[in-house]
Structure formats: structure tokens, C-alpha cells
Amino acid sequence: MVESKKLGMQAETYIVTDQNASMLKIRILGEQLIDLVLVALKIEIDRFSTQDDKIKN
């Protein structure tokens, strides 16, 4: 969870100076949030699943 906070803060910081880095941080944060939701809902998914597959489940 600490890493998620750090990613969010970095995304906000980079939005002015490096939009590409900011978008990358936001994407990683979104992927982590999906993983947290799946764990919270106790949904088993193959560890090699794409993010698209995870969202569809």
C-alpha cells in the first residue's frame, strides 16, 4: 500500500514536467488497485493474466 501512495504522489509530481512518466505511474497504480480488489474479493486468477483479463473477471 505504501508503494501505491508513492506512485500516486509521483504521478502528481510528474504531471507538469513529464506527462509520459505520470501516465505510466497512473497505469501501474491502476494495475495494483485491480490486484487489491481481486484479493479483497477472493477471486483467484492466473498470475500470468493480462490486466484486461483481470478486469473482465
Looking at per-residue pLDDT, the higher value among 57 and 22 belongs to 22
Separation of alpha carbons 53 and 57, rounded Å: 6
pLDDT at 24: 94
Find out whether 39 and 24 touch, Cβ atoms under 8 Å: no
pTM across the whole model: 0.79
Characterize 26-41 residue by residue with b for buried, 16 or more Cβ atoms within 10 angstroms of its Cβ, and e for exposed: beebeeeeeeeebeee
**pLDDT tens by residue, 8-52:** 899 999 999 999 999 999 999 999 999 999 999 999 988 889 998
Find, among 31, 30, 23, the residue nearest to 47 by Cα. Answer: 31
CA distances from 28 to 4, 41, 42 (A): 9, 20, 21
